[in-house]
Amino acid sequence: MNPKMKLKMFDMEVFEHVAPEYRHNIKRGSYATQAIRTKRANTELLNLFSSNQNSSVLLFLTSSFLSSSPSTLLFLPPPNAISDLLHFDPLQSPLFLYPQSYGQHKHPIPTIKSSCNSPVFFSDYSFVVDEIRRVIENSSSDSNGLRYIQGNENGEKFGMNYTTQTRLSYYDHRDDGIEIPCGFLKKFPISDYDRIAMESCNGVVVVSAIFGNHDKIRQPQGLGFNTLDHVCFYMFVDNVTIKQLYFHNLLSRKTKENRIGVWRIVEVSSEELYENPAMNGVIPKYLVHRLFPNSKYSIWVDAKMQLVVDPLLLLHSLVIMEDVDMAISKHPLYVHTMEEAMATARWKKWWDVDSLKIQIETYCENGLQPWSSKKHPYTSDVPDSAIILRKHGVRNNLFSCLLFNELEAFNPRDQLAFAFVRDQMNPKMKINMFDVEVFEHVASEYRHSIKRGPDVIQSIRTKRANHGLPANGGIRTKCDKYLEKMWDE
């Protein structure tokens, strides 16, 4: 053609970081009909804005939701909807551009649910920032309230792997003078430079980890303009992972502080911890209150996840407004711990099936019950723990320590111990177990995206159970009463 077009064809990395892409995941009779519906819905939304600025309207939090999600999950703001969106002012440019050589470029996993029956209320961004700042400033400097069993820098083990009865003796916490076992019997193997920086994070921290080089570091999306002034982002990696980051020139060996986009990268000498990389990942996942002793709130994000909603908005809506210690998604398929245990064995999520049997029988013997309406306000016994939002305090920190001890005693499959610890501990946790539809729209999930090399520890061959696990995966003997109640429900 003449005149010639001036055309800028940017790299795939830019495309992937300015907008998430999803596969079509809802069966429809006519794609054209759906497109008309979407156009009509967006037109009606704009008409609502223009006709009545003071009414409470249904809208997506940011334009990325309008373009990327086909579902009907909507977020509701306060009446002054237009001004709220103007105050939000999300960061527009990509937080980091990756070289083509880094990892495999994949799209998010399609969502399971196509609709949402419990939309989330998000307040004005500027109000949320001020509110969280006020809460943090008014928090006690010693909001922890727990004392921990201490080790020494030259200790041989990070945790003690206590007996069942010893672990259970700490569940009823009525005496603040009692020291709780909570790992750290030896120093967490990071640099003093990183440790000092972590202790200076005194507000909100977002934490993730990659051990074994099995994921790609992804930047959060939808961050508000002031969020980086109030939130610390930390990514813990092991030696295997950081070698690849150096190889792809994502990090420089010449600087002390390693940073990729918003993430501060902290190298962990994992050979001084556990042989299993998953167990090493449990430390920042559940002992975040000890790694960041001055933080008041935290969000754990599995490395396979990418936040697409501002973390301050999430904390305010799901934790602060709900007045809870923790917010975590319900599992999309399972309600009972036994269901998760059977799936873990069936799909070989843990190699030693005998140890799974022993773990579940231990819990049945010591009071584990299947979920029922009697457990309300807890709405499920099985979470999806890929994202955990926490308010640091006695209840939450105690729960995290007790759960860590269970994972060290058995295996790092945290969903198996979740309900047992929650139900048996005192004081009781206040938990917001939100619907999976919410989970799917505040974060995108990716499959593990980097091919495992020779440096990565490969999975051990699954060890079959000697007895008590029939072909259908059922668990018998000490859990008979549990199974009878579960089937009756």
- Nearest Cα neighbor of 210 from 258, 265, 262 is 265
- Nearest Cα neighbor of 443 from 320, 298, 303 is 303
Residue 121: count of CB within 10 angstroms of its CB: 13
Dihedral (Cα; 443, 449, 453, 455), 10-degree rounding: -10
CB 302 within 8 A of CB 235: no
State pLDDT tens for residues 324-359. Answer: 999 999 999 999 999 999 999 998 888 889 999 999
- Angle CA(382)–CA(380)–CA(474) in degrees, nearest 5? 55
CB 244 within 8 A of CB 450: yes
- Nearest Cα neighbor of 281 from 294, 299, 300 is 300
**Residues pairing with 475 in the sheet:** none
Phi, psi values for residue 289, rounded to 5°: -70, -20
**Secondary structure of 381-430 in HEC code, one letter for each residue:** CCEEEEEEEEECCHHHHHHHHHHHHHHHHCCCCHHHHHHHHHHHCECCCC
Angle, nearest 10°, between helix axes 414-424 and 353-365? Answer: 10
CB 276 within 8 A of CB 412: yes
Of the chain, the percentage scoring pLDDT greater than 90 comes to 58
Instruction: Give CA–CA dist 35/272, Å, rounded.
Output: 55
- Model pTM score: 0.80
CA atoms within 13 A on the CB side of 253: 6
User: Which amino acid does the sequence have at 100?
Assistant: Q
CA distances, 218 to each of 98, 105, 209, 327, 343 (Å): 10, 11, 11, 22, 29
Which DSSP letter does residue 121 get?
A: E
CA distances, 469 to each of 346, 410, 474, 480 (Å): 10, 18, 6, 12
- Angle CA(483)–CA(486)–CA(489) in degrees, nearest 5? 150
Residue 117: count of CB within 10 angstroms of its CB: 9
Per-residue pLDDT of the chain (489 residues; tens, 9 = 90+): 778 777 767 655 555 555 655 544 434 333 333 333 333 334 343 343 333 333 322 323 333 333 344 334 445 454 444 444 445 566 656 788 888 788 655 677 777 666 667 788 899 999 999 999 999 998 876 556 799 999 887 778 999 989 999 999 999 998 888 999 999 999 999 999 999 999 999 999 999 999 998 889 999 999 999 999 999 999 999 999 999 999 999 998 888 889 999 999 999 998 899 999 999 999 999 999 999 999 999 999 999 999 999 999 999 999 999 999 999 999 999 999 999 999 999 988 888 899 999 999 999 999 999 999 999 999 999 999 999 999 999 999 999 999 999 999 999 999 999 999 999 999 999 999 999 999 998 999 887 765 544 444 444 454 554 544 444 444 457 999 999 999 986
Phi, psi values for residue 282, rounded to 5°: -65, -30
254 by Cβ neighbours in 10 Å (0-12 / 13-18 / 19+) ranks as exposed
Q: Which two tokens stand for residue 488?
A: 């009756």
State pLDDT tens for residues 374-400. Answer: 999 999 999 999 999 999 999 999 999
